[in-house]
Amino acid sequence: MFKLFIGFVFALLISVSSTAQDTALPNNEQIEIPQVDRTLLLNEAVNALNASSFTKKTNAVNALVELKDPRILPILKGMRLGKLYSLKKNKTIVLAEKVEGGYQLTHAVTGSDLGIAKSNTIKKIRVNNKVRSALSKHIAILELTSSNTNERFLAAKNILSNPDEQLREVLVVAQKAEPTRKVKELISLIIARLDIQSSDENIRLNALRAMTGAVEPTVIQDIKKILEKDESGNYIEKSEVVTAMAEDKLSWIQTKLDWFKFCEDAIFGLSLGSVLLLAAIGLAITFGVMGVINMAHGEMIMLGAYTTFAVQQFFPSLMSYSLLIAIPMAFLVSGLVGVIIERTVIRHLYGRPLDTLLATFGISLILQQLVRVYNSNNVPVVTPDWMAGSLEINAALSFTYNRIYIFIFALMVLVGLALLLKKTLLGLQMRAVTQNRAMANSMGIRSGHIDALTFGLGSGIAGIAGVAVSQITNVGPNLGQSFIIDSFMVVVFGGVGNLLGTFFAAMGLGVVTKFLEPQVGTVVGKIMVLVFIILFIQFRPRGLFALKGRFVED
């Protein structure tokens, strides 16, 4: 019985160990050298970099690359930048970064933190041009053969700005092997930049052909160089075929650049337009739907911006989400202030639009002054990381993320509002009260409540606009004033009471302003837009998308 038990256990043990062996085997076969040995080898190869002569260093670099280890690239980069040191006491090779009070050291191979050392305890591993070019070549090879597309792209971009004749072979190989078009084109451009220095006319011509459509500033510089003239006005370049082609390519590139500039201006204009749109949508409600001229609208935007600031102050740990939190908060704060204003002041003034203008102007003075008494300076509103940076289309065209987000956000608000007005009961009641107050009352709608809610909605949207605005402009007591006239212009231009008109007017004005400003300057551009609207009103007194019909006129 006991024997049986032992036998069973033994058999079990064997089976377990044999399965373990089965699974371990394939791994062992794939890795030629065990991990421990690799690190040892790497350490040795890295230590060899600290050789006594530059020739030995070059050889050491070549040998190091043969190991094909992912840890090599940062070492080579560090060496090229002169950040590779050896510790005086035990010759350990380290990467050193100058910090306050000495050098921050990390182990070159393991990457472990070795603390801060005094400058006299370490010795720099010097490189000369020969070593440096060997390093550059290997870095280029390593980067261009990386499996990460973005890394290859960045590497190619790097090389493009400063191409090196000795990388030619590497580049040709990399170009053939390159799977993505984007990087492939970039590598062709690098080769073209090398070729254009050639003494052979045909090679230069081919290089120019390869440069077709390139917008990278360095490439354009190369083409312009061909077209340089000497003092007597003749081309320095001897071949007429080459200059002719260069002229041709340059004009084509110029057209392309102009087109990109146009795109950039257009997008920039649209983003300005979306800011105008955000600022004006709320006004379109209070002015368009209720007939109230809310001069305090700008201050509602200001309150929204200050709410963003407050959210960031109170929850510094939630900085990335601060805008998302601020949107509903700003809506509530501005909306609430709007409701209070409606119930205390506007309520008395229905049917007297000019009086609402004056009263709300007084309110705007009070709100501004309140903020000014609190703090007359601008407050810093942080832009979360995900809003920073820009989207690069190509070397000549990029858009900042905050503009893009604001554009999308403005559209969302517009659509949301349209849905609210068209599809919800509240929207239905709002429209009912606007069109026939007495009838709406008699059907049991409390028009007073609806008025307060409508005004609150308009103000709340202004608050949301304030969140967006806080990301692109200074937040201070005068923030609102800078928006109020523009917002009114948008509403008047688009046709009162028409959200679609407001949209087109805002975008149109944004784009026109952006195209005008570089031509005539900011102030003159602004004046021209104002004059344009004043003239436009002459011909279409009720705006771009006026409601027509006998009921419009009273």
Partner 1 sequence: MMKNTVIYKLLQNDKAGRIVLSALFALMVLVPLSNMLLPPDSFLHVPTYTVTLLGKYLCYALLALALDLVWGYCGILSLGHGAFFGLGGYAMGMYLMRQIGDRGQYGNADLPDFMVFLNWQELPWYWSGFESFTFALVMVMLVPGILAFLFGWLAFRSRVTGVYFSIITQALTYALMQAFFLNDFGFGGNNGLTDFKDILGFDIQANGTRIVLFMLSAFMVIVAYLLCRFIIQSKLGRVLMSIRDAESRSRFLGYRVEHYKLFVFVLSAVLAGIAGALFVPQVGIINPSEFNPVNSIEIVIWVALGGRGTLYGAIIGAVVVNYVKSFYTGAMPEMWLFMLGGIFVVATVYANAGVIIGVILSAVVSSIYAGISTLIGSEINPFVMLFFALGTLYICAKYFDFFWQKSLPFLTTLPLIGNVLKEKVVTSHSEVKS
Partner 2 sequence: MSHTPINSPSRKITSILQLSGVTKSFDGFKAINNLSIDIKPGELRAIIGPNGAGKSTMMDIITGKTKPDTGEVTFKDVVDLTKHDEADIANMGIGRKFQKPTVIETLTIWQNLELALAGHRSILQTLFWRLNNDQAKRIDDVIALIGLAEKRDDLAANLSHGQKQWLEIGMLFIQEPEVLLVDEPAGGMTDTETMVTARLLKEISQRHSVIVVEHDMDFVRELDCKVTVLHEGSVLAEGSLDTVSSNPRVVEVYLGR
Asked if 77 and 143 touch (Cβ cutoff 8 Å), the reply is: no
68: left (phi over 0), alpha (psi -120 to 50) or beta: left
Figure out which of the listed residues 25, 354, 425, 438 binds partner 1, where binding follows CB under 8 A.
Answer: 354
Output 288 or 456, the one with its CB closest to partner 1: 288
Here's the x/- map for partner 1, 281-320, by CB under 8 A: it reads as ------------x-x-------------------------
Residue 492 engages partner 1 in binding (rule: CB under 8 A): yes
Figure out which of the listed residues 27, 70, 165, 539 binds partner 1, where binding follows CB under 8 A.
Answer: 539
Query: What is the C-alpha to C-alpha distance for residues 360 and 365, in angstroms, rounded to an integer?
Result: 9
Query: What is the C-alpha to C-alpha distance for residues 281 and 301, in angstroms, rounded to an integer?
Result: 11
Output 163 or 338, the one with its CB closest to partner 1: 338
Binding-site partner at residue 550 among partner 2, partner 1, none, CB < 5 to 8 Å by type: partner 2
Binding-site partner at residue 318 among partner 1, partner 2, none, CB < 5 to 8 Å by type: none
Query: What is the C-alpha to C-alpha distance for residues 415 and 417, in angstroms, rounded to an integer?
Result: 5
Binding-site partner at residue 116 among partner 1, partner 2, none, CB < 5 to 8 Å by type: none
- Which pairing describes strands 93-99 and 84-87: parallel, antiparallel, or unpaired? antiparallel
Query: What is the C-alpha to C-alpha distance for residues 384 and 321, in angstroms, rounded to an integer?
Result: 8
Here's the x/- map for partner 2, 30-49, by CB under 8 A: it reads as --------------------
* 8-state DSSP, 347: G
Query: What is the C-alpha to C-alpha distance for residues 478 and 467, in angstroms, rounded to an integer?
Result: 15
Output 89 or 550, the one with its CB closest to partner 2: 550
| Of 204, 183, 186, 184, residue with least CA distance to 194 | 204
Q: Which residues of 425-442 are buried (b: 16+ CB within 10 A; e: fewer)?
A: eebebbbbbbeebeebee
Q: Which stretch binds partner 1 (CB under 8 A): 151-159, 301-309, 329-337, 527-535?
A: 527-535
- Chain positions 182 to 211 lying near partner 1, rule: CB under 8 A, are none
Query: What is the C-alpha to C-alpha distance for residues 86 and 275, in angstroms, rounded to an integer?
Result: 56
Binding-site partner at residue 549 among partner 1, partner 2, none, CB < 5 to 8 Å by type: partner 2
Please state the φ and ψ torsions of residue 106, each to the nearest 5 degrees.
-130, 145
- Neighbouring CB atoms inside 10 A of 77's CB total 16
Minimum CB–partner distance for residue 289 and partner 1 (Å): 14
- Chain positions 179 to 238 lying near partner 2, rule: CB under 8 A, are none
Minimum CB–partner distance for residue 354 and partner 1 (Å): 5
Mapping DSSP to helix (H, G, I), strand (E, B) and coil, where does residue 87 land?
strand
Asked if 47 and 53 touch (Cβ cutoff 8 Å), the reply is: no
DSSP string over 165-210: GGGHHHHHHHHHH---HHHHHHHHHHHHHHHTT-S-HHHHHHHHHH
Output 68 or 550, the one with its CB closest to partner 2: 550
Asked if 495 and 547 touch (Cβ cutoff 8 Å), the reply is: yes
- CA-based radius of gyration for the chain: 34
Number of residues that bind partner 1 (CB under 8 A): 41
Alpha helix stretches (DSSP H) within 284-320: 297-314
- Chain positions 448 to 487 lying near partner 1, rule: CB under 8 A, are 485
Binding-site partner at residue 354 among partner 2, partner 1, none, CB < 5 to 8 Å by type: partner 1
Figure out which of the listed residues 192, 349, 467, 507 binds partner 1, where binding follows CB under 8 A.
Answer: 349
Asked if 476 and 379 touch (Cβ cutoff 8 Å), the reply is: yes
Exposed, middle or buried by CB within 10 Å (0-12, 13-18, 19+), for 260?
Answer: middle
Spatial neighbors of 521 by CB under 8 A, at least 6 apart, are none
- Chain positions 513 to 552 lying near partner 2, rule: CB under 8 A, are 547-550
Binding-site partner at residue 154 among partner 2, partner 1, none, CB < 5 to 8 Å by type: none
Minimum CB–partner distance for residue 434 and partner 1 (Å): 16
Output 306 or 545, the one with its CB closest to partner 2: 545
Spatial neighbors of 382 by CB under 8 A, at least 6 apart, are 312, 319, 322
Binding-site partner at residue 548 among partner 2, partner 1, none, CB < 5 to 8 Å by type: partner 2
Minimum CB–partner distance for residue 236 and partner 1 (Å): 39
Output 115 or 549, the one with its CB closest to partner 2: 549
Minimum CB–partner distance for residue 201 and partner 1 (Å): 51
Minimum CB–partner distance for residue 363 and partner 1 (Å): 6
Output 238 or 548, the one with its CB closest to partner 2: 548
Output 298 or 501, the one with its CB closest to partner 2: 501
Number of residues that bind partner 2 (CB under 8 A): 4
Contacts with partner 2, residue ranges (CB under 8 A): 547-550
Contacts with partner 1, residue ranges (CB under 8 A): 293, 295, 345, 348-349, 352-359, 361-366, 368-370, 372-373, 485, 488-489, 492, 523-524, 526-527, 530-531, 533-535, 537-539, 541
